[in-house]
A and B are shown apart, each in its own frame.
Chain A
Amino acid sequence: NAGVTQTPKFQVLKTGQSMTLQCAQDMNHNSMYWYRQDPGMGLRLIYYSASEGTTDKGEVPNGYNVSRLNKREFSLRLESAAPSQTSVYFCASMGQGGTEAFFGQGTRLTVV
C-alpha cells in the first residue's frame, strides 16, 4: 500500500533550469495538493486540485505550474528555478469526506 509517492526525493538545480516534481496516489482520492515547507513558514499551499480536471492557486503560486494528469497524478513544474524556490516540497491527497490528508515523503529541492 504505497499511499502518496513523490519523485524525486532530492534534486539540485541551477538557477534558470526547469523541472517537474511528480506525485501519484493510489487511494482513489479526489483532492490533491502541493505544499512547500520552509523554516518558520510552515506548510504553504502552492496549488491544489479539488477534483480531476480542476486546479486552483493556493497561497504561493507564483513561479509554479501544475497539471492534474488524471485522478492519480498531480505534477508540479518549475519553469525557471530561482534560489527562493529552495525548499522541501510535499504532495498530499485527501478523499471525498475531506477529513484526512495523506502526505508523501517530500522532495528536498536546492536551487543554486
Chain B
Amino acid sequence: QQQVKQSPQSLIVQKGGISIINCAYENTAFDYFPWYQQFPGKGPALLIAIRPDVSEKKEGRFTISFNKSAKQFSLHIMDSQPGDSATYFCAANGGYNKLIFGAGTRLAVHP
C-alpha cells in the first residue's frame, strides 16, 4: 500500500496550458513535501518543495498548493512548455529522513 498516492499516471497538455498533478498522503508525521522532475535516462532532481505550515509556494511557473486538513497537495505548471515534458514525482519526508515517493506522472507537452 503506497503511503503517497499520485494521479494522474499520465498527462497530455498543449503548449501554454496548465498542468496539474495531485498527491495525497496518509501519514500525518510527514513534514516536508517535495516534487521531483525526471528526464529519460537521468535520476530525479528536486523541482520545488513545501512544508505543511504554508498553503502555497510558487517558484517561477511552478506552484505547490497544500491542503493539510485534506492531506493533499498538488503541483501546478503554468504556461507549460515542451521542455517540461518529463516524469514528475511527489514525495513526503517524515521522521529520520525517510523519503517516500508517489508513483509518478508522465507529462507530455505538445507544441
Interface residues of A (CB under 8 A from B): 4, 30-31, 33, 35, 40-45, 48, 50, 56, 58-59, 90, 92, 94, 98-101, 103-106
Contact = CB atoms under 8 A, between A and B. Distances in A.
The 10 closest A-B pairs by CB, nearest first: A103-B43, A42-B103, A43-B101, A31-B97, A42-B104, A50-B96, A100-B46, A98-B97, A42-B101, A50-B97
A98 B93 contact: yes
A31 B95 CA distance: 12
B61 interface: no
Identify whether the interface residues of A are mostly helix, strand, loop, or mixed.
strand
Given A48-B97, A56-B96, A103-B45, 10 more contacts: A30-B97, A31-B97, A40-B9, A41-B103, A42-B6, A48-B98, A50-B97, A101-B36, A104-B43, A105-B41
A98 B46 CA distance: 12
Interface residues of B, number: 25
Contacts of B34: 99-101
A103 B44 contact: yes
A105 B39 CA distance: 11
Contacts of A35: 101
